[in-house]
Amino acid sequence: MISSVPTSPGTGRKRPTIRDVAREAGVSYATVSRVLNGREWVSPESLKAVQDAIARTGYRANPHARSLATGRSGSVAFLLTEPQHLLFEDPNFSVLLRGVAQALSDRELTLILMIAATEKERARALDYLGGRHVDGVLLVSPHSGDPLLARLVRAEVPIVACGRVLGHEQAISSVAADDRGGARAAVEHLLSVGCRRIAAITGPQDTSGGVDRLGGYLDVLAANGIEAVPERIAHGDWSRESGAAAMRLLLDRAPDIDAVFVASDAMAAATLPVLRAAGRRVPEDIRVVGFDDTGVAATTDPPLSTVRQPYDRISEEMVRLLTDVIGGRTPLAVTVPTTVVLRQSSPG
Amino acid sequence: MISSVPTSPGTGRKRPTIRDVAREAGVSYATVSRVLNGREWVSPESLKAVQDAIARTGYRANPHARSLATGRSGSVAFLLTEPQHLLFEDPNFSVLLRGVAQALSDRELTLILMIAATEKERARALDYLGGRHVDGVLLVSPHSGDPLLARLVRAEVPIVACGRVLGHEQAISSVAADDRGGARAAVEHLLSVGCRRIAAITGPQDTSGGVDRLGGYLDVLAANGIEAVPERIAHGDWSRESGAAAMRLLLDRAPDIDAVFVASDAMAAATLPVLRAAGRRVPEDIRVVGFDDTGVAATTDPPLSTVRQPYDRISEEMVRLLTDVIGGRTPLAVTVPTTVVLRQSSPG
DNA sequence: CTGAAAGCGCTTACAG
DNA sequence: CTGAAAGCGCTTACAG
């Protein structure tokens, strides 16, 4: 059966509309709409009549009609632009996803997950987001050079990023942990327990997290009159494999290091087997401090000292900011504090 | 500025509509619609004129208007009803998510991720899905007793599940690996290499995967005249922690076992540290075989022998089936074959 | 092959 | 406090 009238599938019965409810309640359908939207100017009697009629008919608003009339979709995209494997191996993303899903649900907003890893997916994402299927976009781990970002900004899509978007700070609201401060605290801790030859494994240098966490490390060295040795700095891309590779490189180039500050827990966790294989004991021979405290940190062997990001605050703020931007407010950058958590890989 | 007219946010400029394109092209807007939908009955000249006009105006169809007119949303929900922690610790879900996202994207369908873990989220999910925001639902790891399922079926929402939904086989289409056959092959392998006291760690018994993988294990014992010993069977819930607990229980109740068949890789991976702590060498003292081959299997120490599910086929079939059901076709159950993959935890 | 028209189901000023 | 009416931007028979 082909029909242009949307029906309950299977039954062929039409769903009740606002008119059916109005008839049932003995009021105009404008009044039903007012009740539906909780507006003022409805008498108690009408209110009751409408509510009863809704219950009796099993009425449910048609979301598409509503969106057409209001211009709002009631949904928000969670856009993931990292290569797909990171979604699975870096707990950062799933923790954020969970928090955002929660915060969105509290506001009756729907989460649309978009993975834009391949070229084709990226083109489709731009089309979709630019076509106003969603009211706004939550951007995870943005890289500054990404052409998709510039296009989204040009299309004037409301965006809030997790981490500042280098080069788009004015146009894109962001929520970030205090990456620089957290990194400083971590390295100061290492200094305070006697480490003097501290290495660093960074995140990608086209992300604010990658840049700022390295910045914090350099700050502390400078403040303490310690020279920053290039051989003691290795770059990763957040992936576990890159963390392991960076650790191998450091052991090779700077075998005398007595500590390593790693820009993410996922990468830090990957350094542990490398160190064990090299015969270095953690923390006796070399201390390791990570960043994130996503949950893996507590389960590695030994458990990781790390810098905790308040993920619940981050996701909550991202959603709040996005509703602001959708409402027409100007972009803003929010920074939330971090705390150092000490475990076996570098006890206090 | 408050306005009921949707505008490009920021600029206040209205987006071009189908009428603007029609005027620009010098045709009626019905013709523009035909071009948009690739229908027949459009002359080459009109086609060209419309295409040019679309390019010139930067026109993009309003998805809400289209949905209102067609009764289709163009989106599909990926519904996750497991407690949230499983999303992160069982790679099964993320692998499926990735595959489904791909298959959906190929058909120009959008994936809406819904996590229905808390009571509140479940109520909202029912509301949302029953309200026809989406054209259909992809159900991951359904438990037979779940009241949400019954309600979804009553609301006649098109559904395809991953794994048969016990008790709703007639109403809900499903795609499942050959769980029973895969389990049989795994246990036969253990038998063939000389194991005689084979234990099993199952999945939840209100899921088809949980039931069928245990069934395959029992089949093989029966076929070989081996008595099924209750002490050698422990139940898990797919979580890592449950796998570790089940292994401890088995070592306690049946210390003489020489192999264990585990219903998922996540649980199997968790048995490894338990066995090591108990001083049992794998595979010398005890062999371990998992199920899934999600990727973790290859990275454990030692790497896991396991039963591989063809995830790409599963996600592809789920999406195909769902479009069938949305199109009005009757429910179907699809089973895809599995293969045994041998690694260090139980070499051939 | 094409256009005029009805219809999808809502929201929201506007006039009472 | 309430109703009639216009409008949101499409799709789709229907009549040419």
Q: Which DSSP string corresponds to B110-142?
A: EEEEEE--SHHHHHHHHHHHHTTSSSEEEEES-
Among chain A residues, CA nearest to B3 = A70
Residues contacting A54, CB < 8 A, separation 6+:
A21, A35
The pLDDT value recorded for residue A39 is 63
Mutate which of B90, B133, B156, B170 to test chain A, going by most A C-beta atoms within 10 A? B133
Question: In terms of C-beta density within 10 A (0-12 exposed, 13-18 middle, 19 or more buried), how is residue B3 classed?
Answer: exposed
Q: What is the pLDDT of residue A291?
A: 98
Q: Which residue is nearest to nucleotide C7 (CA to C1')?
A: B69
pLDDT-derived band at B44, boundaries 50, 70, 90:
confident
Give me chain A's average pLDDT, please: 88
What superfamily in CATH does domain B18-70 come from? lambda repressor-like DNA-binding domains (1.10.260.40)
Of the listed ranges A57-71, A309-323, B268-282, the one predicted with least confidence: A57-71
Minimal Cα–Cα distance from B301 to chain A, Å?
Answer: 11
Q: Are A269 and A290 in contact (CB under 8 A)?
A: yes
CA dist list (Å): B6 to A68, A72, A132: 9, 8, 10
Q: Is the pLDDT of residue A114 over 90?
A: no
Q: What residue segments make up the domains of chain A, in order of their start?
A: 18-70, 75-176+312-336, 179-310
Decide: CB of A4 under 7 A of nucleic strand D.
yes
Residue with the larger pLDDT of the pair A344 and B20? A344
The predicted structure's pLDDT at residue B84: 66
Least confident of A317-321, B174-178, B291-295: B291-295
Instruction: Assign A1 a pLDDT band (cuts: 50, 70, 90).
Output: very low
Footprint of strand C on the protein (CB under 7 A): A 4-6, 14-15, 17-19, 29-30, 33-34, 36-37, 39, 59-62, 65-66, 68-70; B 2, 4, 27-31, 34, 40-46, 65, 68-69
Q: What pLDDT is stored for residue B319 in this prediction? A: 96
Burial string for A148-184 (b: 16+ CB within 10 Å, else e) reads: bbeebeebebbbbbbbbbbebeebbbbbbbbbbbbbb
Contacts of A114 in chain B (CB under 8 A): 110-111
Q: Which chain A residue is nearest to residue B77, measuring alpha carbons? A: A112
How is B286-309 classified by DSSP, letter by letter? -EEE-SB--SGGGTSSSPPBEEE-
What distance in Å separates the CA atoms of residue B180 and residue B210, rounded to the nearest whole number?
10
Tell me if B18-70 shares its fold with B75-177+312-337.
no
Other beta carbons less than 10 A from residue A86's beta carbon: 20
Among A9, A87, A108, beta carbon nearest to B94: A87
The arithmetic mean of pLDDT across residues A126-133, rounded, is: 84
What are the chain B neighbours of A329 within 8 Å (beta carbons)? none
Q: For residue B70, how many other CB atoms are within 10 A of its CB?
A: 13
Most A CBs within 10 A among B36, B60, B67, hence the mutation to make, goes to B67
Please state, for a pLDDT cut of 70, what percent of chain B lies above it: 93
User: What class has domain B179-310?
Assistant: alpha beta
Q: Which of the four pLDDT bands, split at 50, 70 and 90, describes residue B13?
A: low
Which of B4, B18, B33, B64 is the best residue to mutate to test the A interface, defined by the most A CB atoms within 10 Å of its own CB?
Answer: B64
B286-313 confidence digits (pLDDT tens)? 999 999 998 889 888 899 999 999 999 9
pLDDT score at B155: 86
One-letter amino acid identity for B226? I
Tell me how far apart the alpha carbons of residues B3 and B11 are, in angstroms, rounded to a whole number.
13
Q: Which protein residue's Cα is closest to nucleotide D5 at C1'?
A: A30
**Cβ within 8 Å, pair B110-A133:** yes
Q: How far is the CA of A53 from the C1' of D1 (A)?
A: 19
Rounded mean pLDDT, B193-207: 97
pLDDT per residue over B307-333, tens digit each? 999 999 999 999 999 999 998 889 999
Q: Which of B274-287 are b and which e, b meaning 16 or more Cβ less than 10 Å from the residue's Cβ?
A: bbeeeebebbeebb
CB contact under 8 A, B128 and A110: yes
Architecture label for domain A75-176+312-336: 3-Layer(aba) Sandwich (3.40)
- Which of A68, A87, A120 comes nearest B65 by C-beta? A68
Is A156–B9 a contact, with Cβ atoms under 8 angstroms apart? yes
Nucleotides of chain D within 7 Å of a protein C-beta?
Answer: 1-5, 7-13
What is the 8-class DSSP label of residue B187? H
Q: What is the mean pLDDT of residues B91-97?
A: 85
Cβ-defined contact of B1 to A328 (cutoff 8 Å): yes
Band of pLDDT at residue A338, cut at 50, 70 and 90: very high
| pLDDT higher than 50, residue A9 | no
pLDDT of residue B6 exceeding 70: no
Q: What is the pLDDT of residue B125?
A: 85
Cβ of residue B5 lies below 7 Å from strand D? yes
**Closest CA–CA distance from residue A343 to any residue of chain B (Å):** 21
CA of A42 to C1' of C16 (A): 16
Contact A314, A177 (CB under 8 A): yes
Q: Is the pLDDT of residue A5 over 60?
A: no
- Beta-bridged to residue B305, according to DSSP, are B289
Q: What is the pLDDT of residue A11?
A: 43
pLDDT at residue B126 tops 70: yes
Distance between B287 CA and the closest CA of chain A, angstroms: 24
- Specify the CATH class of B75-177+312-337 in words: alpha beta
Measured between CA atoms, how close is B274 to chain A, in angstroms? 14
